[in-house]
Chains A and B, each alone.
Chain A
Amino acid sequence: MNLLKLPGASAALLVLILLVAWQLTFMAVGAVAIASPAATFAYLAQHLADLGPHIWATGQAFLYALAIAIAGGLVLGLATGLSATAAETAEPLLLAANSIPKIALYPVVLLLFGIGLPAKVAFGAIHGVIPVAIFTMNAARGVPPVLLKTAAVLRLSPMDRIRSILLPSALPEVLTGVRLGFSLTLIGTILGEMFGSQSGLGYLLMTSIGLQNTQIIMAVTVLLIAFAAIVSTALLAWERRLRRRR
């Protein structure tokens, strides 16, 4: 049990357990339904270069979408969070928007933007922007009033106020929103590629579903999970460090 206390040890054990569960599922349902871990990693080792263009296409769309989601969420969150009336007005609307199945909006996005990069980016961004906005709004609301009064006494300009009071005070909670926004933007971008594009990992996933190529399905899924898990763990660690520093 003491081994578990080593940093990373429990994560390694978790990965091991998941791999065993994967192998057992494979043994239960067979190669028609799911590729084995061995076959998947063999495929990845052999064909990673072939996946390159798809990874690049998804990565590009994802970065644009994430930038828009974070910037939009920060602006929306700060704009509503700085006034009590605006926050109270916006909160249930944002929560309601968060509960909408955005996939139902997909046809609208596609009709507005056409097939291709802009549609993927828009679809990724509408998934990610709302959690960032909700957490930023609550973070801005939670800034101690005495800090804001100090800023008023010191006659800081609005820009200075945001830079030297608001952001440092609100950063940990904003980071929570960014972490959620990151995940949702990734999912949104992939979903966008599944229907509205001719390239990217989502497109590859969708064509492999049609061809029942379980090796590619599992390889793409593993890549996405690994990427998402690494980034989200890093963001979580950063967030915890900031909170501890308080």
Chain B
Amino acid sequence: MNKITLYRILAVAIPLALIELACRLGWINRLTLPPPSEMVVGLWGILKSGRMNAAMLETLRNVIVAFAGSVVAGIAAGALVHGVAPVRRLLEPLFSTYYAVPIYGFYPLFIVMFGLGDKPEILIGFMLAVVAVITATLAGLDGVPRVLVKTARVLRLGPVRTAWQVTLPYAAPQLFTGVKLAAAYSFIGVIGAEFIMSQSGLGYEIRFAYDNLDNNVMYPLILLVLVVAVAMNGALDAWDRRLRERRRAGR
């Protein structure tokens, strides 16, 4: 194990151990925060009993739909906007201030429009994610050398084939940054929407347990959400690094 990995493990383990200790010694009221080890045991029990499986599957499905939709729509919209300079100039201020807008403010509107259920939750996840993909696509396409675009023109490739076979593959590493953000944002959006107002899903279960002061369910589920988010981020990160290394080796 190298030194950095060891430091990283310590940077997570030491605070966790301190929290565990503080809980065990009674410095932190266990109604406020139970010891982390008990959360793990509680989570194990919940996973084994299978009573959260439906909620987990539903949240997962909605996150995947929001994520896939935002990646496809974001890359397509990014490529389109990149091609038409006046439209890009028009939309640039929208993209740069987009993440200052509290997207959750639109959630009630979506509920009234689509009814309480999967659709408004997916839409929130999608809206949170899509602009990250668009801006990453724009940044990636900006970096494509002119000579590649000119070669495509000489070969008489149409705009769609140029994007599909030349510019988008060249911009792939930048696109992947957007894809990583989209995964995190879809997850954040769906869980948030479920938490604010819904009838099912992991976010709803956390809210329900919180409203009923059911710490034995709430803390394990919070732990589950944290673990899933961190694991997803870590997996995408590892994949990203592998792709970049392969590209570097290929040149």
Interface residues of A (CB under 8 A from B): 1, 4, 10-11, 13-14, 17, 29, 32-34, 85, 88-90, 92-93, 95-96, 98-108, 110-112, 180, 182-184, 186-187, 190-191, 194, 205, 208-209, 212, 214, 217, 220-221, 224-225, 228-229, 231-233, 236
Q: A107-B210, A112-B32 are in contact. Are A217 and B109 (CB under 8 A)?
A: yes
Chain B interface residue number, banded: 35 or more
* Chain B residues with CB under 8 A of A228: 97, 100-102
Task: Decide if B46 is an interface residue (CB 8 Å cutoff).
Answer: no
* Partner among A111, A209, A233 whose Cβ is within 8 Å of the Cβ of B197: A209
Q: A85-B3, A108-B33, A217-B105 are in contact. Are A96 and B233 (CB under 8 A)?
A: yes
Q: Are A100 and B113 in contact (CB under 8 A)?
A: no
Q: Are B89 and A10 in contact (CB under 8 A)?
A: yes
Q: Which 3 A-B pairs have the closest CB atoms?
A: A228-B100, A99-B184, A183-B100
Q: A11-B93, A99-B232, A186-B100 are in contact. Are A221 and B106 (CB under 8 A)?
A: yes
Q: Are A89 and B8 in contact (CB under 8 A)?
A: yes
* Chain B residues with CB under 8 A of A183: 99-101
Name the CB-closest residue of A to B93.
A11
Q: Are A85 and B233 in contact (CB under 8 A)?
A: no
Name the CB-closest residue of B to A99.
B184
* Chain A residues with CB under 8 A of B184: 98-99
Q: Are B225 and A1 in contact (CB under 8 A)?
A: no
Q: Are A33 and B113 in contact (CB under 8 A)?
A: yes
* Chain A residues with CB under 8 A of B8: 89, 92-93
Q: Are B187 and A101 in contact (CB under 8 A)?
A: yes
* Chain B residues with CB under 8 A of A225: 100-102
Of the candidates B89, B96, B99, B100, the one having the most CB atoms from chain A within 10 angstroms of its own CB is B100
Q: Are B4 and A99 in contact (CB under 8 A)?
A: no
Name the CB-closest residue of A to B211.
A107
* Chain A residues with CB under 8 A of B107: 209
* Chain A residues with CB under 8 A of B109: 33-34, 214, 217
- Chain B nearest Cβ from A17, distance in angstroms: 8
In the complex the two chains form, what is the Cα distance from A130 to B112 in whole Å?
Answer: 34
- Chain B nearest Cβ from A220, distance in angstroms: 7
Q: A217-B108, A217-B109 are in contact. Are A99 and B99 (CB under 8 A)?
A: no
* Chain A residues with CB under 8 A of B25: none
- Chain B nearest Cβ from A211, distance in angstroms: 10
Name 6 extra pairs, CB < 8 A, besides A205-B108, A214-B112: A10-B89, A29-B113, A85-B7, A101-B225, A183-B99, A190-B102
The B181-196 residues at the A interface (CB cut-off 8 A) are 183-184, 187-188, 191-192, 195-196
* Chain B residues with CB under 8 A of A232: 96-97, 100
In the complex the two chains form, what is the Cα distance from A13 to B87 in whole Å?
Answer: 11
- Bitwise, B209-251 to A at CB < 8 A (1) or not (0) is 0100000001001100110011011100100000000000000
Q: A103-B203, A220-B105, A224-B102 are in contact. Are A233 and B32 (CB under 8 A)?
A: no
Q: Are B89 and A104 in contact (CB under 8 A)?
A: no
The B63-98 residues at the A interface (CB cut-off 8 A) are 86, 89-94, 96-97
